[in-house]
Structure 1
Amino acid sequence: MLLDRRTLQGIAESHITQVLRRWCRPSVKSGGSLLTAIGQLAIDAVEPITEDQIDAADARAAGFETREAALAALTGREGSLYRIRIRLAGPDPREALRRTGELTDAETGELVARLGRLDSRRPWTRATLRVIATHPGRRAPKLATLLGRDVLPFKQDVRKLKALELTESLDVGYRLSRRGETLLSRLGLEG
């Protein structure tokens, strides 16, 4: 489930306590969590509802000024209507991993194995880590060009590296996390 900056800010400030969505199939479940730019969100409930069940209080809890504004935001979308009760649960647990530059031999081995699985169709992980290391803060299109790749698949691959806590997104571009720098050093691939 994607949430825009305004919604995330409202959740962080506790002004927004629910999200309204139309889905063919829910992309989150009750009791689950969601990692976002503001931290980890708890999904307290995912409830199917009808438009008639949305009142002014529901609209405000979802970040809209009026019921009509909430309904307007949902028009033109396919699927059933859901109310997702959501709250900030805490910081993204991956942040601590990104900040630490320490890797045990076992962690290094696990990361190397995971990179190997990502490289199973074609090798890309080490080259991507190297180009980010040598060009921190450079925009994705420039980095993709340096590797002779299309931008969208490149960005998808960088997200896979971020999921391993090896890279960090900046306002513009990317950089290696301390964990990524340590791994590159251990692999002898420093920028």
Structure 2
Amino acid sequence: MMFTDRVARGIAAGEITHVFRRWAVPRVRVGSTLHTTAGIVEIECVNRVDIREISDEDVRAAGEQNLATLSATLRGAERDPVFRIGVRYIGPDERIELSDRAELSKQEIGEIEASLARLDRASRRGPWTTAVLTAVADNHGCRAAELAELLGRDKDSLKLDVRKLKNLGLTRSLNIGYEISPRGDAYLRAIRSR
């Protein structure tokens, strides 16, 4: 489940306490956490609701102005149920601080290399980490579909791989597309200078 920047900021500020989604089955579990652009959000509850019973108070607590606006945000088939998902801000995303670190020791470079080697070994398509990192670095703000085309890959698997690099603090998601982080840039410079 993803949140727009506006919703993520509203959750972090305590102004948004739940969101609504239309799904065939729930796609999040109570107690799970999500990384957002504003920090880490915990799922507190997931309850099926009748859209006709959503109150004005519910609408405002979801950061929307009226039920029509809220309804317009619901994707999925009309026959699918609507869920109210309680959300709570936990704190900042530790990956942001990690990704800001542009000075890397030899040990940190070795740790990144080991992590990337594990990802490469686990992949059915073979080594991919350096190619994806380089593509992100060379194509600032490029969308997943465009990066996938550049690399001759499908968009969905590429998005998962970029997320793995983001978890290591090497890339960042932008409102549109991706960028290399200072940590990722420092790593690429280090391995290129050998």
The alignment's TM-score, normalised by the length of structure 1, stands at 0.76
In structure 2, the residue matched to 1:91 is 92
- 1:137 equivalent to 2:150? Answer no
**CA displacement, residues 6-61 of structure 1 (integer Å, 9 cap, x when unaligned):** 32233233322111112222111112211011111121211222235421111111
| In 2: Cα distance, 1:143 partner to 1:50 partner | 40
The count of residues paired between Structure 1 and Structure 2 equals: 188
Compare 12-21 and 164-173 and name the one that shifted more: 164-173
Compare 176-185 and 157-166 and name the one that shifted more: 176-185
Q: Is the CA contact (8 Å cut-off) linking 1:30 and 1:45 kept in structure 2? A: yes
Q: Residue type matched to 1:167 in 2?
A: T
- Seen in structure 2, the aligned counterparts of structure 1 residues 111 and 80 have a Cα distance that, compared at 3 Å, is same
**CA displacement, residues 84-129 of structure 1 (integer Å, 9 cap, x when unaligned):** 1112221111112212243636623541333323544133221222
Q: Is the CA contact (8 Å cut-off) linking 1:137 and 1:172 kept in structure 2? A: no
Q: Is the CA contact (8 Å cut-off) linking 1:22 and 1:78 kept in structure 2? A: no
- 1:63 equivalent to 2:66? Answer no
| In 1: Cα distance, 2:151 partner to 2:82 partner | 42
Shift of 1:162: 1.7
Q: Residue type matched to 1:169 in 2?
A: S
In structure 2, the residue matched to 1:177 is 181
- Seen in structure 2, the aligned counterparts of structure 1 residues 11 and 180 have a Cα distance that, compared at 3 Å, is same
**CA displacement, residues 135-168 of structure 1 (integer Å, 9 cap, x when unaligned):** 26253477556x4535735455333322332112
- Seen in structure 2, the aligned counterparts of structure 1 residues 25 and 97 have a Cα distance that, compared at 3 Å, is same
Q: Residue type matched to 2:93 in 1?
A: D
- 1:50 equivalent to 2:50? Answer yes
Q: Residue type matched to 1:20 in 2?
A: F
Percent identity of paired positions between Structure 1 and Structure 2 = 36
Which segments of 5 or more consecutive residues in structure 1 lack a partner in the other structure? none
Give the counterpart of 2:129 among 125, 135, 144: 125
Shift of 1:69: 4.2
